[in-house]
Structure 1
Amino acid sequence: MARTAEEVLAQAVQELAPDTAANRLVPRIAAGTAPREAVSAFALEQHHVIRGDRRSFAHLAARSADRPAVAGFFTHLAGGETVALDRLGALTAACGLDDAAVRAYEPQAGCQAYPAYVASLALGAEPADVVVALTANFAAWAGYCATLSRGLRTHYGFDDAACGFFDFFAGPDPEGEALALAAVRAGLADGTFSERLARRHGRLLQEYELMFWDSLDGVSTAGWPW
């Protein structure tokens, strides 16, 4: 019996959900026990992550130009990264960092492995497979962002503007959900979708994201190379 796009996405989100105990930093920020330097490092690294992902999503949209249902999903994501980058400025400022600090910062390999892999997918993976992998990853990311938003308000004194970056990703995205379903339907219909590869991509995305958080968690034990 053929599987529907709804079933494919729901199963991917469920099966690729990360171990709740694997991410050490987010619970520490939620409890107010992580150093502020970890939040600053997050903001600085995200300046590179967001720009890299936006380029990758734009490239995936261009590769899918002959498949509007697929291209629409990635165009939506690229637009979202532009919004996120705009909101990131308030978070960076709340961390006491100015434009010069952002420009001078040298990103860490462990934090940039995720966008590097997304760029690799943008170059060579089947776009419909990437839709499923990203959807599963975004489900976990949204939960992290919701937790961070609450923790930063409660324990670090961040205001609504400073938390706007996290609120954006934590909030519902019905348009994105509809576009993801349309893209997967297109991949199922034309036979280009591979569930095996989609899950491989999704597993690696989750592992690279955990590498991002683990690298940030090192701020509390080894300091950060500003």
Structure 2
Amino acid sequence: MTTNPLVARIATGTAPIETLATLALEQHRVIPADRRAFLHLAQRETATPEAADFFEFLAAGEAMAGERLIAFAEACGVDEARLRTYEPLPGCQAYPAYVAWLALNAEPTDVVSALTSNFAEWGGYCATIAGALRSQYGFTDEACGFFDFFAEPSPELDEKALRVSGSNKGFVNTYSTLLRHYEGMFWTTLGATP
């Protein structure tokens, strides 16, 4: 069982559908922001060919995830008008803001190492949520596709990450720690929504 309180509530079906709708709305901001950050990292002059390949692969994955997010949002009752008028929560958007900061300021190879340190935890959250959406909320496979996508292991992504080595372990540790804190802020903020 996850130690993330909101994911634990989703797992038991006690998180309200409005919280799930807010999750969809926030992810509609996170996904394109992260995609642009990854594309920028791939194009940085200091990006090695291996790092560029890794970030291009991540950016393509974000595009696919964004397509799958639509069905989840619709299952939560989010329509186009609400998407357009939604005001994002600062605590949820701190994570993509920091990823954008990394894209501008950190060495791409160090960002690879920092990001991959959190993939297993994020994938575990997504697996738990995908299962709960089916068993507790009665969502279709299509509506769960966003979470299924991130829950599935990606040997190709792991292989690409292994080809890249962060050059500054001190920075990598700091970046990893901050990413974990900002992700925790994302879930805490969501959990506090009515």
- The C-alpha deviation readout for 1:159-195, integer Å capped at 9, x for no partner, is 10000000000001111101101122xx5xxxxx111
Query: What CA distance in whole angstroms lies between the structure 1 residues aligned with 2:70 and 2:122?
Result: 20
The equivalent position to 1:32 in structure 2, one of 7, 10, 13, is: 13
Query: What CA distance in whole angstroms lies between the structure 2 residues aligned with 1:64 and 1:167?
Result: 34
Gaps of 5+ in 2: none
2:168 alignment partner in structure 1: 194
Tell whether 2:78 aligns with 1:104. Answer: no
- The C-alpha deviation readout for 1:44-76, integer Å capped at 9, x for no partner, is 000000010001000000015762111000000
The equivalent position to 2:179 in structure 1, one of 205, 211, 214, is: 205
State how many pairs are aligned: 193
CA deviation after TM superposition for structure 1 residue 139, in Å: 1.4
CA deviation after TM superposition for structure 1 residue 196, in Å: 1.2
Query: What CA distance in whole angstroms lies between the structure 1 residues aligned with 2:119 and 2:45?
Result: 21
1:9 alignment partner in structure 2: none
Change (3 A) 1:75 1:177: same
CA deviation after TM superposition for structure 1 residue 24, in Å: 1.0
Amino acid at match of 1:114: Y
Residues 50 and 84, structure 1, Cα contact 8 Å, conserved in 2: yes
**TM-score (ref. length: structure 2):** 0.96
Tell whether 2:141 aligns with 1:160. Answer: yes
Residues 21 and 73, structure 2, Cα contact 8 Å, conserved in 1: yes
Tell whether 2:62 aligns with 1:81. Answer: yes
Amino acid at match of 1:60: L
Structure 1 runs (4+) deviating above 6 angstroms are none
Q: Percent identity?
A: 56
Query: What CA distance in whole angstroms lies between the structure 2 residues aligned with 1:29 and 1:104?
Result: 26
Q: CA RMSD in A?
A: 1.1
Change (3 A) 1:195 1:92: same
**TM-score (ref. length: structure 1):** 0.83
Amino acid at match of 1:205: L
Residues 65 and 71, structure 1, Cα contact 8 Å, conserved in 2: no
